[in-house]
């Protein structure tokens, strides 16, 4: 007995030091794990992940990691397996007029000035009000979400109503505090526009999917005093400035006649040329002006389809990129484009850049997709929150099916995403982690009936437009 006790005493220190058998840590419960075939995170540049998963909790990306590792580490309440899909960040429409979806096609094949004076402005004067803005924005939101657009930067009247319409359907809204130099149903003068826009910003300050820009319509419709005031507000409120700029040659000629300088120089004199500036269209720029935009870190919202349809010219995107300009993409409104389709815009942007530069390697697929995602987020001051699939960012994601006949065979997923696939291949969309489009069905608090509701509403507005056009 004594010998046995002595032996146990000698061995005890070694027994205490031996590895202990423990259970593997329990998997962490989270909301969602998405397992696609490929992930195009956009950042880091050039990355394409295969066999990986995206872990989401509380609307935020918790991890991007191999799928097998995700299965060990996380216990997801919902697992979405997409074996034939590529998942990309939500597309960012950096310039549109959402409510003008109700004017889709009313002025097709007309030059800009006739389009404005004979169609758009008379119809807006007769129709625009709260109901028109809400119905049009909701129609646009349905179209955009189903096409993988999770964020849009809007410039129109009643920004509070636009924001509520877009977010009710489920998308992220960046709405403009508009100012324009003539009265409308929304406001009587520049002070009224700004007062109402700032009130809207205060009312929606706590809405997680809503943010704002300052949105002077264009240099030719806004006075020096109002532009200078908006420059001050941009600094005070830390907001981007979203403005049509150098869209037509006529706009520049008029500015020289009235103000003695080109529009960009006038904005510079008034304090608006900075990293906050989002120059919409920016077609007619000199080398010096492109260099100026690059030096200050400004953005351009390039709208290639609208530019072509209205015959306004070809933006010098290759020169902008070379100068360091942040080039984002926008659809413009459906009245001057007909489609709120960011796949179209990215494809046209790439093709036109090649033609303008005479270089087939210009604006390759990966760069064009950056313009449609992270560059738009940067322009809108949202780069820290969206635009790429990175840990800590909000989960704005789009899944595109890549096994249909029209995208087969598939040699390069990134190239195919730009040049072969389109909005018809979008199957699933998440905004801040919420699954808003599932297997091509829009999921909203109002239910799937919203699709038919917006079509019925647009038909009623179509009839009113026809009656006005007959007069």
For 95-146, how does the pLDDT look when each residue is reduced to its tens digit (9 = 90+)? Answer: 999 999 999 999 999 988 889 899 999 999 999 999 999 999 999 999 999 9
E strand map for 147-188: 149-154, 172-179
Beta strands 397-401 and 326-329 are unpaired
- Cα angle for residues 203, 204, 208 (degrees, 5° grid): 155
**Helices and strands (H and E) in the chain: how many:** 18, 17
Dihedral angle sign, alpha carbons of residues 73, 75, 80, 82: positive
Q: What angle do CA 327, 146, 56 make, to 5 degrees?
A: 80
CATH of domain 91-379: 3.20.20.140
pLDDT digits (tens, 9 = 90+) for 216-245: 999 999 999 999 999 999 999 999 999 999
In contact, 284 and 313? CB cutoff 8 Å = yes
Specify the pTM. 0.93
pLDDT digits (tens), the chain, 471 positions: 333 443 333 333 333 444 444 556 789 999 999 999 999 999 999 999 999 999 999 999 999 999 999 999 999 999 999 999 999 999 999 999 999 999 999 999 998 888 989 999 999 999 999 999 999 999 999 999 999 999 999 999 999 999 999 999 999 999 999 999 999 999 999 999 999 999 999 999 999 999 999 999 999 999 999 999 999 999 999 999 999 999 999 999 999 999 999 999 999 999 999 999 999 999 999 999 999 999 999 999 999 999 999 999 999 999 999 999 999 999 999 999 999 999 999 999 999 999 999 999 999 999 999 999 999 999 999 999 999 999 999 999 999 999 999 999 999 999 999 999 999 999 999 999 999 999 999 986 554 567 777 888 888 999 999 999 887
Handedness of CA 111, 114, 118, 123 (dihedral sign): positive
141, with CB counted inside 10 A (0-12, 13-18, 19+), is buried
In the chain, CATH 2.30.40.10 sits at: 28-89+394-439
Q: Which DSSP string corresponds to 422-465?
A: -GGGEEEEEETTEEEEETTEE--TT-TTHHHHHHHHHHHHHHHH
**Fold assignment, 28-89+394-439:** Urease, subunit C; domain 1 (2.30.40)
Q: Which two tokens stand for residue 50?
A: 């295969």
């Amino acid at each position: 007995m004594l010998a046995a006790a002595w032996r146990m005493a000698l061995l005890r220190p070694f027994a205490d030091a031996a590895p202990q058998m423990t259970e593997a840590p329990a998997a962490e419960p989270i909301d969602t794990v998405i397992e696609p075939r490929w992930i195009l995170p956009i950042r880091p540049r050039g990355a394409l992940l295969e066999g990986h998963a995206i872990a989401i909790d509380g609307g935020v990306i918790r991890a991007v990691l191999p799928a097998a590792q995700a299965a060990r580490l996380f216990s997801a309440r919902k697992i979405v397996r997409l074996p034939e899909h590529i998942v990309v960040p939500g597309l960012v429409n950096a310039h549109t007029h959402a409510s003008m979806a109700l004017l889709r096609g009313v002025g097709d094949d007309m030059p800009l000035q006739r389009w404005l004076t004979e169609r758009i402005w008379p119809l807006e004067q007769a129709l625009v009000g709260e109901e028109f803005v809400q119905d049009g924005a909701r129609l646009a939101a349905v179209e955009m979400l189903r096409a993988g657009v999770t964020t849009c930067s809007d410039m129109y009247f009643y920004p509070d109503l636009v924001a509520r319409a877009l977010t009710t359907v489920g998308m992220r809204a960046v709405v403009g505090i508009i100012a324009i130099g003539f009265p409308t149903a929304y406001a009587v003068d520049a002070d009224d526009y700004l007062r109402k826009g700032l009130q809207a910003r205060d009312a929606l300050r706590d809405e997680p999917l809503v943010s704002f820009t300052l949105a002077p319509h264009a240099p030719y419709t806004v006075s020096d005093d109002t532009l200078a005031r908006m420059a001050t507000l941009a600094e005070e409120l830390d907001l981007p400035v979203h403005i049509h700029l150098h869209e037509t040659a006529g706009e520049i000629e008029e500015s020289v006649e009235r103000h003695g300088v080109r529009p960009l120089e006038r904005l510079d004199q008034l304090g608006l040329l900075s990293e906050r500036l989002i120059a919409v269209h920016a077609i007619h720029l000199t080398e010096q002006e492109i260099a100026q935009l690059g030096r200050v870190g400004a953005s351009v919202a390039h709208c290639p389809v609208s530019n072509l349809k209205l015959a306004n010219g070809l933006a010098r995107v290759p020169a902008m990129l070379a100068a360091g300009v942040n080039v984002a993409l926008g659809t413009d409104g459906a009245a001057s484009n007909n489609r709120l389709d960011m796949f179209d815009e990215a494809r046209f942007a790439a093709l036109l850049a090649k033609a303008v530069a005479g270089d087939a390697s210009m604006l390759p697929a990966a760069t064009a997709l950056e313009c449609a995602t992270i560059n738009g987020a940067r322009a809108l001051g949202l780069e820290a929150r969206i635009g790429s699939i990175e840990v800590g960012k909000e989960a704005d994601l789009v899944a595109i099916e890549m096994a249909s006949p029209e995208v087969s065979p598939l040699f390069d997923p990134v190239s195919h995403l730009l040049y072969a696939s389109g909005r018809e291949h979008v199957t699933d969309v998440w905004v801040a982690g919420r699954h808003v489009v599932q297997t091509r069905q829009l999921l909203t608090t109002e239910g799937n009936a919203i699709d038919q509701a917006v079509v019925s509403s647009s038909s009623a507005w179509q009839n009113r437009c026809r009656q006005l056009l007959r007069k």
